[in-house]
């Protein structure tokens, strides 16, 4: 069975986007070589990326550009090469390379994808998708990057969960730029 990982940047107060829906705050601290190697390693992995429409449009507007290749060549190469799925009922077409548009229910689609062959899957951002998949018990791992910033307002990736989600920490790693990566699995 394919595994599903959620990868999220979070502020200290638990938001994955700020009050305006932005994520520029998560890009601070990129002058840390160890952090940059971690990011490049994640982007160079063999997996399938899953997005909601908003995150997909943000990523698709940046990673295929010359600016992305100039600023983060390894990450851009990985992001552009990896297979991608975008869940949307309103997106006209998925134009970013190696992207498949899925218009059906994300929970049903991911449940079927997990039963099929293929590499592991990673949800990037996409808070509404994360909340749906978490509530359905489909997430195997949560990799949360806690950034040293307090936003004061924004949205959590778990908005709408009807019941507490109990997790067990399996790993943690701190970086010189202040980011801390916390890895969790659902309690069984």
Count of domains for the chain? 1
Q: How far does the chain reach from its first CA to its final CA, in angstroms?
A: 17
Examine the pLDDT at 43 and tell me if it is beyond 80: no
> What per-residue confidence (pLDDT) applies to 114?
97
**Is 32 part of a structural domain of the chain?**
yes
> What per-residue confidence (pLDDT) applies to 98?
95
**Is 79 part of a structural domain of the chain?**
yes
pLDDT, tens only, 68-117: 999 888 888 989 999 999 999 999 999 999 999 999 999 999 999 999 99
Report the distance separating Cα 133 and Cα 135, nearest Å: 5
pTM score of the predicted model = 0.92
pLDDT, tens only, 104-139: 999 999 999 999 999 999 999 888 999 999 999 999
Token pair of 16 as six digits:
């994955």
CB 19 within 8 A of CB 153: yes
CB 177 within 8 A of CB 38: no
**Is 17 part of a structural domain of the chain?**
no
CB 153 within 8 A of CB 79: no
122: domain range? 23-174
CATH label of the domain that carries residue 50? 3.40.430.10
What is the DSSP code string of 46-79? SEEEEEEHHHHHHHHTTTTSHHHHHH-HHHHHHH
Examine the pLDDT at 161 and tell me if it is beyond 80: yes
**Is 4 part of a structural domain of the chain?**
no
**Is 10 part of a structural domain of the chain?**
no
Considering the chain, what is the average pLDDT of its residues? 92
- Chain centroid offset of residue 91 CA: 19
Residue spans of beta strands (DSSP E) within the chain? 4-10, 17-18, 47-52, 84-87, 99-102, 120-124, 141-146, 154-155, 167-174, 180-186
């Amino acid at each position: 069975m394919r595994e599903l990982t959620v990868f999220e940047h979070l502020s200290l107060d638990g938001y994955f986007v700020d009050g305006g829906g932005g994520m520029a705050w998560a890009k601070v601290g990129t002058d840390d070589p160890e952090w940059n190697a971690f990011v490049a390693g994640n982007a160079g992995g063999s997996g399938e990326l899953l997005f909601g429409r908003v995150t997909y449009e943000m990523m698709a507007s940046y990673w295929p550009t010359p600016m992305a290749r100039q600023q983060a060549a390894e990450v851009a190469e990985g992001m552009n090469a990896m297979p991608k799925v975008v869940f949307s009922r309103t997106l006209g077409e998925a134009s970013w390379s190696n992207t498949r548009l899925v218009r059906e229910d994300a929970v049903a689609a991911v449940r079927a994808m997990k039963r099929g062959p293929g590499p592991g899957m990673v949800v990037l951002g996409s808070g509404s998708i994360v909340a749906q998949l978490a509530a359905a018990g489909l997430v195997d791992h949560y990799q949360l990057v806690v950034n040293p910033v307090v936003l004061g307002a924004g949205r959590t990736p778990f908005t709408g969960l009807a019941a507490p989600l109990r997790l067990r920490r399996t790993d943690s790693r701190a970086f010189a730029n202040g980011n801390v990566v916390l890895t969790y699995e659902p309690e069984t």
